[in-house]
Amino acid sequence: MTAVRRALSPSARALLERVSHTAGGPRFPVHDAARPLAAPIAHVKDASGADAVVAIHRSADAFATWRHESPARRAEALSGWHARMMASAEDLAQITALEAGKALADTRREVAYAASFIDWCAALARQTAGEVLLPSSRDHRQLVLKEPIGPVAVITPWNFPLAMITRKVSAALGAGCTTVVKPAETTPLSALALEALAHDAGIPSDAFIVLTASRANAAVVGTELCQDPRIRALSFTGSTAVGKHLYRSCADTVKKLELELGGNAPFIVARDADVDVAVASLTAAKLRANGQACVAPNRVLVAREVHDEFIAKLVRTLDETVVLGHGLDDGVTMGPLIDAAAREKFVGFISDATSKGAKLVCGGPDDPRARALSGAGSECEGAPFVAPTVVTDVPPHARCWQEEVFSPLFSVAAFDVEDEAFAMANDTTAGLAAYFCSRDLSRCWRAVEKLEAGVVGINEGAISTCVQPFGGVKESGLGREAGPHALEEFLETKSVTFRLSS
C-alpha cells in the first residue's frame, strides 16, 4: 500500500496561489491530472491574440535594454534563477506532479534536470565571444561579432513542463534575447512558478513573459507569435503536426526555427547484449513521464537468441518496480496518462496490434490495477490510468510501430540479422533518439554510425543532460538545444570588414 498524501505542502500551496489568476478577465481551469472529476486546482489567465501583441511589444522594448546588459550581469541573473529554483525544488516538484500527473520521484528529477540548463547557460553566457580573423589583405581587418537574434517565442508541451522551458529560456536569455513563453494549457502553473522565481532573481519581468492560454486560444496566440516581425526566432517542442504548422506560419517573417518534434525511437538489443543492462536502460528510458516522452523507445527490436530471456526479465522488472497511483502518494512511480484521449489511443494501439498478430504479454486495456484506481467511487475516478504493457511479435504495419505511442506500451519484435534491425530502425520519418545494447565495441560503433537519429544511447537509456546537444534529424526537428553551443541558436553572426587608411 502507498501512503496517501495527495495535497500540496503549505509552501507549494503558497507558490501555487501566488501564480494563480484571481483578477477579472477570461480564465481557464487547471486540473489535478489524476483527479479529473474533482474541482480545478487553480485558474489562470486565458490570453487572447491582443494579449499576445501586448506581450510582444513589452518583449521588444525589453530587448533594447537586455541585449546591452553585460554578459556578467546576465549570467548573475541566471545563476540567481537557478538558486531560487533549487531553494523551491520541492514546491516545484509537487506542483508539476499535480498538474502533469507525474510521480513525485519523477518530477523531483525533472526539477534538478531543468535547473541544470540554467546553471549551464549562465556559464556559457560569460564565454560567448566573436572572432578576430587573419586579414584577407594588408589594408583590411576582419572580425566576427555574435549578437542576440531578438525577442524569441517559446512554445512548450506538458510532459516536461519545467525542463522544456528552462532549456530554451536560459539559452535565449543568456544570449541576450528576451522571451515570450506559451506553455501547454494542461501545465501552466509550473511555467508561472518558473517565471515568478526568475523575476524574484532579478531577470526583468519583460525579458521573460509567460502567456498562458487555453487550447481554444493556443492557435490565435501562436499566430501572433509566428507572424509578428519583431519576434525573430521560435523555439517549439511538441507534436510533429503542430510543429509543421508553426514552421509554415513563420515563413512570411523568415524566423529562425528550433523545432523539437515527435520521435519513433528504436531500441535494439543485440544477441551479445547484457540483458539486465538492456532491460534497465529500456525501462528507465520508457517509463519517464509515464511513458510520455519524445525520446521514449517506441519500437523494441530484440535479437532472436535473447528474445525470450529479455521478455521474461522485462515483465518481471515492470511487475516488481512499477507502482501506479496518484503522483503525490509516497512510493508511486507512475501516474495516469495526460487525458482520456491519450488512453483511448493506447487502447486503440493494442487492439490494432493484436488484430495484426501481436501477442499481449502483460498489462493491456483491462489491467485490474489501472481499473481499480480509476473506477467509479475511487479517489481518482475517471483518471486515465494504464498499466505498463508488453506486446511481442509486432508487425511493421501495426500502428504502434509506425506512430509515436506516448504511453507505457512496449512494442517488441524479434530480428535475426543485425542489418535487418538497422533497416527496420531507420524505416521511419522520425529521427530523434535511438538506443543500442551490445557488449561488442565495434558493433556499438557501427550502430552509432548507422542509426538515423540526433541522439543515440549505447547501453544507456538516459541520453539527455545539459552538457550535450539535444535534437532530431529528419522530421523530428531542426536545431539543437543545450550542449556547448546552446546559445548559438539565439545568436546572429555579423561579419565586419575594416579598411585601413595608408
Q: What is the dihedral of CA 394, 395, 401, 407, to 10 degrees?
A: -20
**Where would I find the H helices in 288-430?**
304-321, 340-355, 368-374, 399-402, 418-426
Q: Among 478, 427, 431, 480, which residue's Cα sits nearest to residue 452?
A: 431
242 sits near ligand ADP (criterion: CB under 6 A): yes
**Which range binds ligand ADP by CB under 6 A, 196-204, 216-224, 313-321, 391-399?**
216-224
260 part of the active site: yes
Q: How far is the CB of 183 from ligand ADP (least distance, A)?
A: 6
Using CB under 6 A as the binding criterion, the count of chain residues that bind ligand ADP stands at 14
What's the CA gap between 303 and 439, in Å, rounded? 13
- Least distance to ligand ADP from the beta carbon of 42, Å? 17
Query: Counting contacts by CB under 6 A, is residue 53 touching ligand ADP?
Result: no
**Among positions 44, 125, 155, 302, the unique one binding ligand ADP when judged by CB under 6 A:** 155
Nearer to ligand ADP, 168 or 307 (CB): 168
User: Is 437 labeled as catalytic in the residue annotation?
Assistant: no
Grid coordinates in use for 149?
537574434
Q: How far is the CB of 372 from ligand ADP (least distance, A)?
A: 28
Q: Provide the H-helix boundaries in 390-471.
A: 399-402, 418-426, 441-450
Q: How far is the CB of 85 from ligand ADP (least distance, A)?
A: 21
Q: In the β-sheet with 152-155, what is the strand arrangement from edge to edge? A: 208-210, 179-182, 152-155, 233-237, 256-260, 477-478
Among 151, 157, 327, 363, binds ligand ADP (CB under 6 A): 157
Q: Which residues contact 281 (CB under 8 A, 6 or more apart)?
A: 267, 435, 437, 457, 459, 460, 461
**Of 91-99, 152-160, 274-282, 307-315: span binding ligand ADP (CB under 6 A):** 152-160
Q: Which of 110, 195, 258, 260 is catalytic?
A: 260
The answer to whether residue 156 forms part of the interface with ligand ADP (CB under 6 A) is yes
User: Shortest distance, CB of residue 371 to ligand ADP, whole angstroms?
Assistant: 25
Place of cell 535487418: 420
Residue ranges of E strands in 307-408: 359-362, 389-392
- Residue given cell 525470450 in the structure block: 308
Q: Judged by CB under 6 A, which stretch of 176-184, 204-212, 355-363, 419-427 contacts ligand ADP?
A: 176-184
* 109: Cβ contacts below 8 Å, ≥ 6 apart: none
Distance CA 237, CA 220 (A): 18
Minimal CB distance to ligand ADP: which residue? 222
Residues 177-206 binding ligand ADP (CB under 6 A) are 182-185
- Selected from 218, 347, 362, 444, the binder of ligand ADP by CB under 6 A is 218
Report the interface residues with ligand ADP, using CB under 6 A.
Answer: 155-157, 182-185, 218-219, 222, 238-239, 242, 245
Catalytic (active-site) positions: 260, 294
